[in-house]
């Protein structure tokens, strides 16, 4: 896998539950874990998730499979992008691959 070739361990999680995501973000903050994160629809309105991301003590990257700026106007706002190291969007699954490469550079 790409993570193995980069020499990093990856813990993959998915949830549509805002409270569960916030718990995971608190866990990542406590463990000082770098984060690649697709906030999906929460991107546009979840200040609770944004506040949890602010607590992170390691690099973080926001990822989107599609480009939110090429979609409906209400998707153009991200409450998350201002509190992460960067955002990668619009490259489908390659968005995650690009994020893995970049997070590795930020950590080393």
Residue 14 lies in domain: 2-107
> For residues 73 and 106, what is the distance between their CA atoms, to the nearest angstrom?
31
- Summarised one tens digit per residue, pLDDT across range 16-49 is 999 999 999 999 999 999 999 999 999 999 999 9
Longest pairwise C-alpha distance within the chain: 39
> For residues 103 and 56, what is the distance between their CA atoms, to the nearest angstrom?
14
pTM value is: 0.90
- Summarised one tens digit per residue, pLDDT across range 49-86 is 999 999 999 999 999 999 887 788 877 889 999 999 99
Token pair in block for residue 88: 């990668």
CATH code: domain of residue 80 = 3.40.50.9100
Indicate the number of domains in the chain: 1
> For residues 23 and 12, what is the distance between their CA atoms, to the nearest angstrom?
15
């Amino acid at each position: 896998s790409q993570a193995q070739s980069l020499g990093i361990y990856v813990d993959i999680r998915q949830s549509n539950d805002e409270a569960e995501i916030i718990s995971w973000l608190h866990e990542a903050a406590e463990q000082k874990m770098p984060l690649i994160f697709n906030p999906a629809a929460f991107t546009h309105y979840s200040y609770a998730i944004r506040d949890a991301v602010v607590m992170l003590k390691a690099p973080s990257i926001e990822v989107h499979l599609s480009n939110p700026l090429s979609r409906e106007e209400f998707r153009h706002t991200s409450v998350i992008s201002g509190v992460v190291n960067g955002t990668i969007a619009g490259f489908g699954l390659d968005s995650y691959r690009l994020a893995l490469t970049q997070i590795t550079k930020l950590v080393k």
